Amino acid sequence: MSSAERDLMRIVIVGHVDHGKSTLVGRLFHDTGSLPDGKFEAIKAMCERRGMPFEWAFLMDAFQSERDQGITIDTAQIWFKTALRDYTIIDAPGHREFIKNMITGASSAEAALMLIDAGQGIQQQSRLHAFLLNLLGVKQIVVLVNKMDLVDFSEARFAEIAREYSSYLGSLGIKASYIIPLAARDGDNIATKSARTPWYPGPTLIEALDSFTPAAPLAALPLRLPIQDIYKFDDRRILAGRVVSGRFKVGDTLLFSPSNKTAKVASIEGWSAPEAHDAEAGQSVGVTLDEQLFIERGEMASHVDTAPIETNAFKAKLFWLAKKPLKLGENYRLRLQTRDVNVVVESIVCIYDAESFSARPSEIVERNDIAEVILRSTALLALDGVEANPKTGRFVLSDGRNILAGGTIALEGYPDQRRMVTVRSANITDVAHGVTAAQRTLRNGHPGGVLWLTGLSGAGKSTIAMAVEQELFRRGFHVFVLDGDNVRRGLSANLGFAPEDRAENIRRIGEVATLFAESGQIVITAFISPYRTDRQRARQAAEATATTVFHEIYIKADLATCEGRDPKGLYQKARAGEIAEFTGISAPYEPPLKPELVVDTEKLSIADAVACVVSYVESRFRKPG
């Protein structure tokens, strides 16, 4: 196989400072015959000039400051080869002060080598680095127990470290591919089996690396072309950007997110290069379309059938780098490929403690903390989860100047809002009713309106809604309840319970509730409706009529209370894994920020809760005298 045809794999090497990473890499290059001509001699001569023993580490530690201090402070990349493939090995710093550089180095790796000193054993950095590798999605890991010569190649010591570290990795959901005893300085178990570890039956480091599976080529993933700039030449608009994944060709229909505009590719152009028929991941291209669309920087081009999800809220795992802590409710700039938008920290789900393997609640995220948060933007974002696309599933937060955090995107539980905002109907003309809203109010004795009850399952929404309907009807109000069961049997009978289906269900309910209210009725809805975006869309639908008022009523009860009630046994089934995407357990619930009314059913009886809502309606919809 020629060098042009050989596979290339990117490996990151991490570990606690002074555990011998650079020494390992230097020896690895030597033992695979990958050192450039004269490099060994140059290192040897340098050591002689300094009057110091020969150090393999100087092959990697390229900076003078590193040689003086004896620590690696930046990531370095050097290529080496085996009989099977070529490798790029990324030496990432182990010192806690340079953890940002470690993340930068590991972000593009397909596999990792985790180094542990046999004498010192597992350190906090050993745990933190494993946690970060998991955060970045690196699953192929070889644990190397180095400096075995300092513990007389003790099988018992090796087994102790292997057992303890395997337990920690297991708590993260990781299983080490191999755990190998090494003496990197002498080359034990790097390229050849060591006679000093006859008790070790596993592969050498080279054999372990060659057993790894390269990541799928980026060109095989769905097309993602972030638009970086738009150029105008003569009568043409050229959309410029770098293809980060997938491929496309002239004649393909592209969808631009989040604007949801589509057009066909008329040409693919390069700088001072002839037109091309196609393009794929890694290429920087210019694209012209068959019609002049107004496309802006930051839009994401894709094929229609493999488009990213559109949402304005998502869950993220991030590593906080700034000295000033991240705080709940703070605003930051989200950089996502060529998109740069404001986001607010809506929720800090938890802080991960890499030392105790636990998660804990917190209102702030301190420097070097790993946290799970929910971020929300006022604008729709085109997103991929990191598992689906490692290139577009990562982001950074900044203050407009400095990078504050790096993180990965998780979209489980968040619906795709694309179809909620895409208008497909055409040739529609508004029809004016012959009966005015004022006439309906006069006839009914009250205006129409929407009472939108939201809260967790078990909070009491349906019970309260039905009782309020009875009492308002007794008092002469024109009132009707839209509840989950009566809607699911008909209007939404074709929808399931996936996040997108639930969002569409709420959209339909919002539109139907608005029609009821326009007819002069008070319509009460009793739905979990977990997402603020969906409830806001229902509000906008109602208030767009200029005659309908939307009242968001939060039926408040915490998860423990609702789970204790569990009137339909749903929480029990969710805990048992029988119900996927169950709100409060495996899917999020976003409480209202500024509801018109809060009814706390943890403190109020059903009768008092009903009286509270009825009193509210009387004060807002009171019949004219």
Residues annotated as catalytic (active site), given as ranges: 529
Rounded-to-integer distance, Cα 299 and Cα 55, Å: 50
Rounded-to-integer distance, Cα 265 and Cα 263, Å: 7
Kindly give the pairing relationship between strand 111-117 and strand 8-15. parallel
3-class SS shares of the chain: helix, strand, coil, % to 5: 30, 30, 40
Count the helices and strands in the chain (H runs, E runs): 16, 30
The 3-state secondary structure of 489-555, one letter per residue: CCCCCCCCCCHHHHHHHHHHHHHHHHHHHHCCCEEEEECCCCCHHHHHHHHHHHHCCCCCEEEEEEE
Rounded-to-integer distance, Cα 28 and Cα 80, Å: 8
The amino acid occupying position 437 is A
The amino acid occupying position 236 is R
Enter the DSSP assignment of 303: E
Q: What are phi and psi of 255, to 5 degrees?
A: -110, 130
Enter the DSSP assignment of 19: S
Do 187 and 27 meet the contact criterion of CB atoms below 8 Å apart? yes
Q: What are phi and psi of 434, to 5 degrees?
A: -75, -15
The amino acid occupying position 125 is Q
Do 78 and 89 meet the contact criterion of CB atoms below 8 Å apart? yes
Q: Give the three-class secondary structure for 349.
A: strand
Kindly give the pairing relationship between strand 309-320 and strand 253-257. unpaired
Do 451 and 466 meet the contact criterion of CB atoms below 8 Å apart? no
216 Cβ neighbours under 8 A, 6+ residues apart = none
Nearest to 79 by CA among 28, 148, 22: 28
